[in-house]
């Protein structure tokens, strides 16, 4: 009996070595990744919001993040059109640099056509897709890394406003925390400020706009 118990305990110990434990995210910079995406010309935009891999699984899919985005005031781009070259990110998960496949914009309380207004008058937006999903074999947290910013209107070429990365992040977080809902799905979101992932300042940042170095971790639970 003691021999059998020893064998079982040994198998459990071996199994634990190969079991991926749920984590909120892995720091991209610890495995050759970056906390700035690639916006071209050697600069990037800060990945300043992370949706935790410990969030409800229904939030972390492409459809799930779109549905959640619509609960906090964002939606797909105006009539599905996107102008500008895609950006890419390397999350240190073994996937290397991967292009974005979706960009979500502030919808002004109309998730079907409101982003058309955002395209005209400016507002908040962020990019998400596989490029921001940390799911490679070297760091598979499932977390979503978002590049959030506040931008000018179309007449200013949709450039980022002064302090637009901090402002965009803060506006998104303010809209997200607490209880939100969309189409009969209710979300509970808690936020945690993280330092040490992004370097404060403007070195390497697109448009030379300084950031405060804070990344916000959102844990989203479907209730």
- Find residue 40's DSSP bridge partners: 43
> Is 13 within the bounds of a domain?
no
- Inside any domain, residue 33: yes
Cα(75)–Cα(66) distance, integer angstroms: 7
Q: Which two tokens stand for residue 135?
A: 């799911």
Higher-pLDDT residue of 155 and 61 is 61
Q: In residues, how long is the chain? A: 223
Enumerate residues 6+ apart whose C-beta is below 8 A from 128.
65, 69, 100, 102, 103, 104, 144, 146
Q: Which domain holds residue 48?
A: 23-222
pLDDT computed for residue 161 by the predictor: 86
H helices, E strands: number in the chain: 4, 10
Q: Which of 131, 129, 128 is nearest to 98 (CA)?
A: 131
Residue 3 — very low, low, confident or very high, per pLDDT cuts 50/70/90?
low
Domain-embedded: residue 87: yes
Domain membership of residue 6 (yes or no) is no
pLDDT at position 139 is 97
On whether residue 17 sits in a domain, the answer given is no
* Per-residue confidence band for 184, with pLDDT thresholds at 50, 70 and 90: very high
Whole-number average pLDDT of the chain:
80
In this model, does residue 132 exceed pLDDT 60?
A: yes
Poorest-pLDDT segment among 68-72, 119-123, 126-130, 138-142: 126-130
Q: How far apart are CA 129 and CA 61, in angstroms?
A: 9
Q: Give yes or no for residue 8 having a pLDDT over 50.
A: no
Q: How high is the pLDDT of residue 211?
A: 96
14's tokens:
């071996």
Token duo for residue 51: 């949706």
Is 159 inside any structural domain?
yes
Q: What is the pLDDT of residue 29?
A: 97
Q: Where does residue 70 rank: exposed (0-12), middle (13-18), buried (19+ CB within 10 A)?
A: buried
In a domain? residue 62: yes
Interval 103-108 mean pLDDT: 66
Q: Identify the CA nearest to 187 among candidates 38, 7, 67.
A: 67
- Contacts (Cβ under 8 Å, ≥6 apart) of 70: 107, 111, 182, 183
Does residue 7 lie in a domain region? no
pTM listed for this prediction: 0.79
Q: Identify the three-state secondary structure at position 13.
A: helix
- How many structural domains comprise the chain? 1
Q: Give the residue, 156 or 171, on which the prediction is more confident.
A: 171
Range 178-199 average pLDDT? 96
């Amino acid at each position: 009996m003691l021999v059998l118990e020893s064998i079982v305990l040994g198998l459990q110990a071996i199994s634990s070595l190969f079991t991926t434990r749920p984590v909120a995210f892995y720091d991209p910079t610890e495995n050759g990744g970056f906390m700035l995406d690639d916006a071209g010309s050697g600069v990037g935009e800060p990945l300043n919001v992370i949706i935790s891999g410990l969030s409800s699984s229904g939030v972390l899919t492409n459809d799930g993040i779109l549905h959640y985005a619509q609960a906090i005031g964002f939606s797909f781009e105006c009539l599905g059109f996107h102008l500008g070259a895609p950006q890419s990110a390397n999350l240190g998960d073994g996937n290397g640099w991967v292009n974005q496949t979706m960009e979500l914009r502030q919808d002004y309380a109309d998730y079907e056509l409101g982003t058309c207004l955002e395209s005209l008058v400016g507002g908040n937006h962020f990019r998400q897709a596989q490029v921001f999903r940390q799911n490679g074999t070297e760091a598979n947290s499932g977390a979503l890394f978002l590049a959030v910013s506040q931008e000018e209107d179309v007449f200013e070429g949709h450039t980022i406003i002064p302090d637009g990365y901090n402002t965009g992040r803060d506006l998104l977080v303010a809209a997200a925390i607490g209880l939100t809902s969309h189409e009969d799905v209710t979300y509970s979101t808690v936020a945690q400020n993280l330092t040490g992932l992004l370097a404060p300042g403007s070195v390497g940042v697109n448009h030379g706009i300084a950031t405060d170095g804070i990344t916000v971790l959102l844990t989203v639970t479907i209730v």
